[in-house]
Structures are given as C-alpha cells and as structure tokens.
Amino acid sequence: MNESHGGLMNRGRGWPLNDGRGWLVVAVVTGGVLASVPAALSQPPAAKPGSAARPAGKKINPLEVKRLDARLDEVRESFLRDTTNLILSYENLGQFDRAKTLLESLQKLDPRNEPIRTKLRELNEKILENGEFDLEIDPNDSWRAVGAVTKDQPLRIRVTGDYKLTTSLSLGPEGAPSNTSDDLVPQVPFGALMAVIIPAGPTGGGGGQSDKPPRPFTVGSSLERSADRDGVLSLRVNLPPGTKCTGKLSARISGPDRPTP
C-alpha cells in the first residue's frame, strides 16, 4: 500500500513542459490547478546589445530540495500509518461502516490499489454478516416491507423452502379475466420471489419526476447486488390474485435495516 501511495504523492508536484507551440505548460496536481502561460512570458527578456547581463534568478539548492522531499515522504508515511490505524480501530470496535468510509477515501486517492480493493471486499462481507436477519415470506401476502436501504449499499438474500398453490378462478370459453395478469410482473418468473426498492416519500417519487419508477427484480433462491436507489426494500411472490398457497419461504437477509418487531 505504501508504494502505491508513494507514487500518488509524488504526482502532487508540478512539471514544466513545452507543448511545441511556444507555451510553457505548468501542471500542478495538488489543488487541482492546471495553468498554461506563454513561454515568452516565462522567459526573462533578452539583454539589449551593450547592456550588462542581468542575474538569472535564485539558484536552486539541490540539498534543500532533497530535504523537502524527505519531509514529504515523512508526511505521506505518517498519513498512511495514522489512517490505517484508525481503520483497524473502527474495525475492532465493530464499526465496519466507518472503517469502510475511511477506506473508500483512500481508494479515491489510488483507485488501482489492489490491497485496498481486497480490504473493501472483506469489510463488505463483515457488514453483511453483521446485519443478517431471518424473515418468513407467506406467498399469499402482497408486498411486504423489509427495511430501509441506501444507494450502492450491498444486499444479500438467501431463500429456502417451498409452497403449493391452487386457484379458485372460474374459467369459461373466454379464458382468464384480463385483470388476472395485471398483478404479475412480466420480467420475473411466475411464482418466483421478487423484490423492489420503493423510494421514500408520500408519493414514492424519489424526490424528482426524472427518477425512474421502481422496477421489481427477481430474487429466486439467492440474490446479491447493490441497491440502485434509496428507499424501502419490499418482497413478494409473483402470483396472480385468486391463488391460494400453503407453505412458506424462509429468507435470510443482509443489508437493509432490521425490521421493527
């Protein structure tokens, strides 16, 4: 980790480059500044014939630069050491969300750092394991609210059990009433457990008309994904009205807030 961040911190200096058009490009990463000035302005004016030569400016002291570079390395190492210790301290206290937030900040500084990615996967697993709870799903029920979720929060659902269904529909030569299929979700298999994240708010609008409407998705026997929005996770079996079911499904859920007893 230190080597990767060392490379990052070294990129925090600026380099003068000539772009071939008479411009001196000075790149300064720290602070997010990128400045370009004419090369003519960056050079001292040529001495007039017969005039005394002017001093070229302050001479760079290599020893002073070396001393500052050493100090930069010390600051970098201290930052990484203190941040790592803070992450481990939060993790030891079971505050996995706080540890994850700090680690994500480090990842933004060095997105390609593989040890950080690995540690984030470990923390996500601990967060999921720490928040597990069991829930019974009655196939006869309509949408059942499970708990609040936030965008990009990892979700995991494992489902076991089976059920039997019968129907009380009376059919004639015209077949089933048209409204029978209205309560089925086309993109989810018939009889499968499905989920939807309903945006918070009195109208379920998610805070803006541009938001996409909530779209149910298949859970089946297992699901692992990230929430695509803030809202309330709800579960239901994809069955039409008029069916009667015996048996229940058992779901082990991680990610959403635990439902209130």
- pLDDT value, residue 176: 62
| Domain extent for 38 | 2-42+63-129
Over residues 226-255, mean pLDDT: 91
| 71 and 148, same domain (yes or no) | no
Q: How far is CA 140 from CA 38, 193, 245, 247, in A?
A: 75, 12, 6, 10
**Residue 159 binned pLDDT confidence (cut-offs 50, 70, 90):** very high
Among 129, 145, 163, residue at a domain's last position: 129
Q: Which residue has the tokens 């411009």?
A: 23
| 156 and 184, same domain (yes or no) | yes
| 185 and 92, same domain (yes or no) | no
Structure confidence by residue, pLDDT tens digits, 93-148? 888 888 988 988 888 878 888 988 999 989 888 888 888 899 999 999 999 999 99
pLDDT greater at residue 44 or residue 172: 172
Please say if the pLDDT value at position 47 is more than 60. no
Structure confidence by residue, pLDDT tens digits, 217-232? 999 999 999 999 999 9
Give the range with max mean pLDDT: 2-6, 43-47, 218-222.
218-222
Contacts of 112 (CB under 8 A, 6+ apart): 4
Distance between CA 259 and CA 145 in Å, rounded?
8
Tell me the three state secondary structure of residue 177: coil
Helical axes 62-92 vs 2-10, angle rounded to 10°: 140
Average pLDDT taken over every residue of the chain: 76
| 70 and 99, same domain (yes or no) | yes
| 218 and 167, same domain (yes or no) | yes
- pLDDT value, residue 184: 84
Is 55 a domain residue?
no
Please say if the pLDDT value at position 79 is more than 80. yes
CATH number of the domain enclosing 190? 2.60.120.430
Among 129, 160, 175, residue at a domain's last position: 129
Concatenating the DSSP letter of every residue in 82-132 gives HHHHHHHHHHHTT-HHHHHHHHHHHHHH-TT-HHHHHHHHHHHHHHHHHT-
The answer to whether 199 touches 214, Cβ cutoff 8 Å, is: yes
- pLDDT value, residue 125: 87
- pLDDT value, residue 181: 55
Is 56 a domain residue?
no
**Percent of the chain scoring above 90 in pLDDT:** 31
